Amino acid sequence: MEEKEGQKKEEAPAASEAIDKVKSTYQSLDELLEVKEGDRWPVVLLKVGARLLAIGLLILLSPFILLVLLIAFTAAL
């Protein structure tokens, strides 16, 4: 019983560390694709297209991510 509690305490910082890393990656991508006032129209089109592509990619990957999370939680129980 004590091993499982210790293991959960070790997993919690690892999980929050992974979440922080994903959050910082998303924020840097968001800053990179932000349309600024001085951008020319081809750059604006590229940024909007890249943002739409990123959103589409996240939507396409979400079922697989949910499946992996479901398997991971089932294995942990």
What are 46-59's pLDDT values in tens digits? 999 999 999 999 89
pTM of the model: 0.62
pLDDT bracket for residue 60 (50, 70, 90): very high
How confident is the model at residue 34, as a pLDDT? 93
Tens-digit pLDDT profile for residues 7-38: 555 556 767 887 888 889 889 989 999 999 99
Give the separation between CA 14 and CA 75, rounded to whole angstroms: 18
Among candidates 14, 5, 16, 54, which has minimal Cα distance to 33? Answer: 54
Question: Residue 58's pLDDT is what?
Answer: 87
The tally of CA atoms less than 13 A away on the side-chain side of residue 34 is 9
Domain borders along the chain are 2-76
Q: Which two tokens stand for residue 65?
A: 């991510």
CA gap 62, 57 in Å, rounded:
9
